[in-house]
A and B are shown apart, each in its own frame.
Chain A
């Protein structure tokens, strides 16, 4: 459905000419409005990440602001209490300085919180903008544009997950959809990812500390693995004593949960980093750092309510599954089918074929569906075309029909209607 408003290529509308609907498809009857709406509703249900991520971002800011307020107010209170305890030895001037320092401390807290709540408001605005964007799908006139934006959103998501930040930014800017994508969220992840690629653990550990309670709730292993890696680096540097004391401090608390891994790691103390013993060789391999990057990405995405895989992969896989038929792999496959192209065919290889319960026949000439309104007609040579196409051909050629595939000629009156259920 909706081919009529779908055929304009998306993206750079300013430099490409306005493209009117494809003529062949425009002739196809528009679908009943109820199925269109039902289908739209189904497709909106897929947009969880779109509404959840900005909400998580907002929650994060709110948490930070709250913690700041909590920390500062508690500090002021305890400072007053402390002053009371020391008050016997305190001169009046001391007390005055002390109190005025507290007042300025509160003032600076207020300024920070004002800034924080400005950020909160912006983020709440973004949450609202997302909901409004989903709502605007109902505008049938702008649906083609909406679909283009959806594709762009999916592409930006892909770029961000693959760490192609420049392309992500550029794409969001050219399409003016900055509000609808989560570049700023991913830039937070970028810092950690970059540092892990440089074999630094500190920013990742700081991130873990920041999200401690939530990571604990989801039984995340990330912090343990980061600690493990730091331990291994100490062993690699032959700093065995430091390694042992590090393990006591940071690995021991995880011992109950990850006994095997811990034992495995501790055993490395008996080896050097250039060991040929295959069990321990892997532990020292630098690919462990790539694993950490992947793991961090997963945890990060989960905390923000994102899917594990890039959206592009999910939709592409679903689309190729739905489109995949044995006919796609034949030479005669039409170019309009993405599966006529080598790249898409390769991607679809491990996917199952789709299934049909009823025949779906497409006229070779008009590419339109042959159904009750446009039933298939059979030529004497067994080739089948739609009534519309053959009527038009007969009208132009005094009732003569020429089979476009075999060149055989017959009369319109020789045609037989086929009934296909």
Chain B
């Protein structure tokens, strides 16, 4: 899109607008001056008798005003301005898509659900006042379900920002088992950070005590890390000179804060990113294709509204790829439980139905459609992505 061109076009409109309004002011001044001159003439008649009477002065004024023709001038100014505006609107209509609701299906979007999604989005972003304001204005008291868990998350994060790990540690120890199931070593990482803090500020014995109490339970699974950490004891108070200086990087705090948020959301059954922003971002990427599709199908509005699957792919970026979708290259259909992907001995993959066709219902060996190698149904292997 040529934004520079649009900006220039707008500048022209704005210039015209300024010019026009100063011309209007001038015009009013001009009319005003004529009237004032007439006034002055009238006043002069007071002293000099025999001068023209009020009537002739007024007639004079009328003629002069008619000569200026202010109404005509105003009209032509307005006309000129409208022409400029019209041109600019045309440019906008050409450069932008004037109606992005064309591809919209008129289905009922349940307002309560949308509002709940929005409220959760606000709470997830830590915008608690806003969430409360929204819930009361939209009258959706049930939409506050995620408020208190996210408040907990943000208060733990706030404490972490002030280098206080206590709330995070107490949360992690409560969730210890579930974290482990998730394959997360967040708890260890929190203890590690705490241990390094103690080592930096406190005494060696305090750090040793801490390690004995909190780090040893992890020793069997995280042998190497624990060994390194204990070795840090040798450098108490001057860790920055040690080979383990990287334990002190402030970036550990940031990274851990993020990991904490991820785990917190995950245990809450939520994704790390706001699902609303993901869905809207996908919409921004997908909408241009849908609009094009709609304009191609404009003649078949019914078909557009009734279709169960889009006729063309909408390409989304890889951040929106949440599932493994297998499309059989022979049948051009998406795989399913009934028609799963099968690996042939040559390494090529097609769907089960394709193999059934190629092998005439498993009655004979067949040639791979992509290479010269032969295969039998028995040699094909069901794949799980």
Contacts and interface: CB of A to CB of B under 8 A. Distances in A.
B310 A384 contact: no
A309 B104 contact: yes
A103 B347 CA distance: 94
Nearest to B68: A77
B105 A350 contact: yes
Contact of A99 (B39, B89, B103): B39
Contacts of A417: 347
A96 B45 CA distance: 11
Nearest to A385: B385
B381 A316 contact: no
B358 interface: no
Given A314-B283, A325-B323, A418-B347, A131 B317 contact: no
A48 B89 contact: no
B67 to A, nearest CB: 12
A362 B59 contact: no
Interface residues of B, number: 145
Contact of A52 (B42, B92, B272): B92
B229 interface: no
Interface stretch (B112-120, B173-181, B186-194, B198-206): B112-120
A65 B77 CA distance: 13
Interface string A34-55: 0000010111111111011001
B372 interface: no
B4 to A, nearest CB: 8
Interface string A304-336: 010111011111111111110111100001111
Contact of B323 (A48, A51, A334): A334
A1 B64 CA distance: 70
Nearest to B282: A319
Contact of A150 (B284, B314, B317): B284
Interface stretch (B155-163, B207-215, B234-242, B359-367): B155-163
A76 interface: yes
B71 interface: yes
A28 B285 contact: no
A44 B54 contact: no
Contacts of A110: 25, 28-29
* Size bracket, chain A contacts: 35 or more
B240 to A, nearest CB: 22
B329 interface: yes
B279 interface: yes
A154 B138 contact: no
Interface string B102-113: 011101111101
Contact of B157 (A17, A25, A328, A376): A17
B3 A2 contact: no
B148 interface: no
A151 interface: yes
A109 B89 contact: no
B125 to A, nearest CB: 3
Contact of B43 (A1, A96, A128, A341): A96
A400 B359 CA distance: 36
Contacts of B101: 307-309, 314
Contacts of A45: 1, 95-97, 288
A314 B286 contact: no
B167 interface: no
B326 interface: yes
Contact of B279 (A47, A83, A319, A364): A319
Contact of B35 (A2, A102, A117): A102
Interface in B273-314: 273-290, 307-314
B140 to A, nearest CB: 10
B271 interface: yes
Contact of A77 (B71, B133, B270, B281): B71
B384 A128 contact: no
B125 A9 contact: yes
A344 interface: yes
B130 to A, nearest CB: 6
A237 B326 CA distance: 68
Interface stretch (A85-93, A245-253, A280-288): A85-93
Counting from the closest, the 3 A-B pairs by CB-CB distance are A319-B283, A322-B286, A315-B283
Given A48-B97, A358-B329, 19 more contacts: A1-B318, A9-B273, A46-B284, A48-B93, A58-B17, A88-B55, A96-B39, A131-B3, A151-B281, A167-B130, A321-B290, A322-B290, A327-B325, A352-B309, A355-B309, A355-B314, A362-B323, A364-B324, A418-B383
Interface of B: 1, 3, 6-7, 10-11, 14, 17-18, 21, 24-25, 27-29, 31-32, 35-36, 38-39, 42-43, 45-46, 54-55, 57-59, 61-62, 65, 70-71, 74, 78, 81, 85, 88-89, 92-93, 95-101, 103-105, 107-111, 113-114, 116-118, 122, 124-127, 129-130, 133-134, 137-138, 154, 157-158, 160-161, 251, 254-255, 257-258, 261, 265-266, 269-290, 307-314, 316-327, 329, 332, 334, 336, 341, 343, 346-349, 370, 381-385
28 contacts: A9-B124, A9-B277, A20-B254, A66-B78, A69-B74, A73-B74, A77-B71, A84-B59, A95-B58, A100-B39, A107-B32, A117-B21, A128-B10, A147-B277, A158-B114, A312-B114, A315-B287, A318-B287, A322-B286, A337-B271, A350-B108, A351-B105, A355-B311, A356-B327, A359-B324, A382-B343, A405-B384, A419-B346
